[in-house]
A and B are shown apart, each in its own frame.
Chain A
Amino acid sequence: MSLETIINLEDVSLKFKLQKERTPSIKEFTVKLITRKVSYLDFYALKNINLEIKKGESVGIIGRNGSGKTTLLRIIAGIYKPTSGKVYVKGRIMPIIELGAGFDMELTGKENIFLNGLLLGMTRREIEKKYDEIVEFSGLKDFINSPLRTYSSGMILRLGFSVATAINPDIILLDEVFAVGDEEFKKKCIAKIKEFKENGSTFLFVSHNMNAIKEICEMAILIEKGKIIMYTQKEEVIKCYLKLDF
């Protein structure tokens, strides 16, 4: 296995300016700006993150709700820009922060495959090439020209997963996609993920499901209040996480 660095975060911080009161109207804001009463509260969603991930590694990200797990994925995916620090990412990213980004209930399954695929970074031609495969994998051939609103939530999930896994990306960001869906779906997901791993994809996997982390990842990161407090072998990190008092 090559040891090429594929993701590197150097001293990355993300600071939100929280206004102490709710979003004001323009009038209030102007009045306060003039009287210099706009007060902000600095809130670090991520603070001084240093992280290096090598090609082919699978890393679980664990931590409590609101600790900054999803924010970290968003930084890597380029959705958020850090307030300070450097983000280096090499290769093609497949961000599966939620399945079916951009799905529209009024559009047909086919139309949604194209919309969703484009939003995930594929070109139209790539989707056309993979189209039959996607439909096949989703098992929704008979419904593909019906509007999405006629689908069950399980069918929508399957469609989203089929599009997201149609191409072989270098980096896959997964955020709690197993939380929904039945056992069969979970098995299908894990099988697909293992297939990607064999092909050399790098994984970042956010989950509260320790069993899924154990099954997929080798390493794990523990995040607490926007800081990485541990990054080592998964067993040790999970042990430490479970000991955190809730």
Chain B
Amino acid sequence: MENKFIWIKDLLFEFIRKDLKLKYKRSILGIAWSILNPLLMMIVMSIVFSYLFRFQIKNYPIYILSGIIFWNFFSTSTNLSSLSLISNSSLLKKVYFPRVLLVISSTLSQFINLLYALIPLVIIMFFYKTPPKLSFILIPIPILSLLLFTIGLSLILSILSVYFTDISYIYQIILLAWMYLTPIFYPPSIVPDKYKIFLQINPMYHIIISLREVIYSGEFPSLNTLTLSFIFSFSIFLFGLWFFKKNENKVMYLL
């Protein structure tokens, strides 16, 4: 039994290692892309949004960066993980291993990329002379909420997309709309009161807001928001696990 636990852990690490190795295998800059990519994206977005839309936001590049890196993690991992059963169908038919590892490892390797992306964020903050404040130490809490929510949703999507191939196409569109419904480029204050409800029911809104508070504003988020957001994410995570376990054997015949 103990041996089995070690095996599962080893296999999970191996999947993550493989993902990370393959990601930049043939590129010259390699892992540096994980740091460069958000930086370049920030530059493009800051130019577009501050000149075109003229939002009155102090240190706009930091504002953007503290939203976009987390959103990118969320969208890339849910997108990739949702296909992880389909794209590994031949492997799944050859050997038995806990299939949940495919989804979790794919999310975790994206998560490691996210941690790399925090490096340029902190550098930029020093560059703009607004170094991280004490509130920054709370960052693990909203990040954990984000991770749990992402894994939970990925587990659900990975099963659904085997039942219905169309799910992955629809999800692309949902993601696009979802991104604009989450205040990543714009301040939440520009949303008219009557539409505020759409922000309130959006779990990503609460996560992003908490992250912004600890990184960008240097405020301590309200304990309520943090706890509620964590409980919600944890429930989605548990539901995802349950849903996956319940369906994984049925889905095998469809692969």
> Out of B26, B91, B93, B167, which one reaches A26, CB within 8 Å?
B167
Asked if A81 contacts B249 (CB within 8 A), the reply is yes
Asked if B95 contacts A119 (CB within 8 A), the reply is yes
B196 contacts partner chain A, Cβ-Cβ < 8 Å? no
- Closest A residue, CB atoms, query B164: A26
Determine the distance from Cα of A73 to Cα of B141 in the docked complex, in whole angstroms. Answer: 46
Q: Which residues B90-136 have CB closer than 8 A to chain A?
A: 91-97
Most buried by B among A24, A119, A122: A119
Asked if A123 contacts B3 (CB within 8 A), the reply is yes
Known contacts A80-B252, A80-B253, A123-B3; A97 and B95 CB within 8 A of each other: yes
- What total of chain B residues lie within 8 Å of the partner, measured CB to CB? 28
> Out of A79, A114, A115, A119, which one reaches B93, CB within 8 Å?
A79
Q: Which residues of A contact B91 (CB under 8 A)?
A: 101-102, 119
- What total of chain A residues lie within 8 Å of the partner, measured CB to CB? 31
Asked if A115 contacts B18 (CB within 8 A), the reply is yes
Q: Which residues of A contact B93 (CB under 8 A)?
A: 74, 79, 97
A29 contacts partner chain B, Cβ-Cβ < 8 Å? yes
B contact patch SS: helix
Determine the distance from Cα of A190 to Cα of B236 in the docked complex, in whole angstroms. Answer: 51
Known contacts A95-B94, A118-B11, A119-B95; A106 and B25 CB within 8 A of each other: yes
Q: Which residues A95-115 have CB closer than 8 A to chain B?
A: 95, 97-98, 101-102, 104, 106-107, 111, 114-115
Determine the distance from Cα of A72 to Cα of B14 in the docked complex, in whole angstroms. Answer: 29
Q: Which residues of B contact A115 (CB under 8 A)?
A: 14, 18
Determine the distance from Cα of A81 to Cα of B248 in the docked complex, in whole angstroms. Answer: 10
> Out of A25, A79, A114, A125, which one reaches B164, CB within 8 Å?
A25
Asked if B21 contacts A122 (CB within 8 A), the reply is no
Nearest-Cβ distance from residue A2 to partner chain B, whole angstroms: 23
Most buried by A among B91, B96, B97, B166: B96
Residues of A within 8 A of B (CB): 16, 23-26, 29, 74, 77-81, 95, 97-98, 101-102, 104, 106-107, 111, 114-115, 118-125
